[in-house]
Amino acid sequence: MSSERKKNPKHFQLNPNWAQLQQKLKSFAKPSRHSKNPQSETPNSILGKRKERPNSEPDDAKPNPLMPTNDDSSVTDVLAMDCEMVGVGQGNKSALGRVTVVNKWRNVIYDEFVRPVEHVVDFRTHISGIRPRDLRKAKDFRVVQKKVAELIKGRILVGHALHNDLKALLLMHPKKDLRDTSEYQPFLKEGRRKALRHLAAEVLGVEIQNGEHCPVDDARAAMLLYSKNRKEWERSVKDQLRLKEKQKKRKQRKKPKADINHSLIAS
C-alpha cells in the first residue's frame, strides 16, 4: 500500500502538465473553426502591413515638381535663366559667377561657371554656392555672354528679377519678351515683390534656397511658375501691348492739331 501511495502523487503531478498541453492544443486548433487554412492568416496579416507602407510613404517622400517632365534638351521658344554672383572690386560690386538656362521642359541646356573680368575678392559661397575651385577652369565671361545672347535671342525669357541677371551679363532683351516672376501682378502682395523662395513655397509647394542657392532649381522654379500661369500671363501681356499701341495712336493724332494751332498763332 505504501508503494501505491508513493506512486499516486507522481501520477497526479502529471495531470497539470497534461491539462496545459491540452489547452495549448485547443488554442492552436481554434483558428481552424474560422478558416479552412489557418496558416494563411498570419502571412496575410504580415503582407497586409507591408502593403500599407507604400501608400503612406508618398506623404513623406513626394516627387519634386521641379524635375523635368521629359528628357528633351532642345532650345525651346521659352527659356528660363538664373545667375549667381560673386564679389569683385572691394567686394560690394557684383559680377557673374555662374549662369544656368533651362528650356520649357525644365531640362538644363546651358550651365557654366564664369571667370569674371575683374579679380574675385568674395565668392559669396554661403549664397552663390561658388567656390574658388569652380572658377579655376571656368569659361571666360565674353564666351559665356555670347552663348547666352545666342540662346535667348528672339525667345521669351523667364526668370526672377531678370534685370539683375541681364545686367551681370551686360545684355539687353526686349521688354515684350520678358516674363519676370518678381513683377507678375498676381504674384505681388499689396504691390510689393515676393522672393522666389516664397513664391516657390506658396504656389509650387517646394522649398528652395535653403542655404546655398542652386541656379538650376531657381531657373526651374521660375519656369514652372510661368508654365502654370502661361495662358493668363500671355493674355495680360497682349492686353498691355494693345493698350500701348492705342496710346501711341492717340498721341500721333494729337500732334498734328498742335502743329496747326502753332502755325496759326505764328501767322
Here the CATH number for the domain that contains residue 230 is 3.30.420.10
Q: What is the pLDDT of residue 133?
A: 96
Q: Is residue 257 part of a domain?
A: no
Q: Is residue 1 part of a domain?
A: no
Domain range for residue 145?
78-244
Average pLDDT of the chain to the nearest whole number: 83
pLDDT tens readout for residues 106-137: 999 999 999 999 999 999 999 999 999 999 99
- pLDDT-derived band at 217 (thresholds 50, 70, 90) equals very high
Instruction: Give the total number of structural domains in the chain.
Output: 1
Whether the per-residue pLDDT at 165 is higher than 70: the answer is yes
CA angle 214, 219, 222 (to 5 degrees): 125
Q: Is residue 254 part of a domain?
A: no
- pLDDT-derived band at 229 (thresholds 50, 70, 90) equals very high
- pLDDT-derived band at 61 (thresholds 50, 70, 90) equals low
Q: What is the mean pLDDT of residues 13-42?
A: 56
Q: What is the mean pLDDT of residues 179-206?
A: 93
Q: Is residue 48 part of a domain?
A: no
Handedness of CA 223, 229, 232, 236 (dihedral sign): negative
Q: What is the pLDDT of residue 55?
A: 47
Q: Is residue 106 part of a domain?
A: yes
Q: Is residue 95 part of a domain?
A: yes
Please enumerate in sequence order all residues whose Cβ is within 8 A of that of 53, keeping only pairs 6 or more positions apart, or say none: none
Q: What is the pLDDT of residue 189?
A: 85
| 8 A C-beta contact, residue 65 and residue 73 | no
Does the pTM of the predicted model rise above 0.75? no
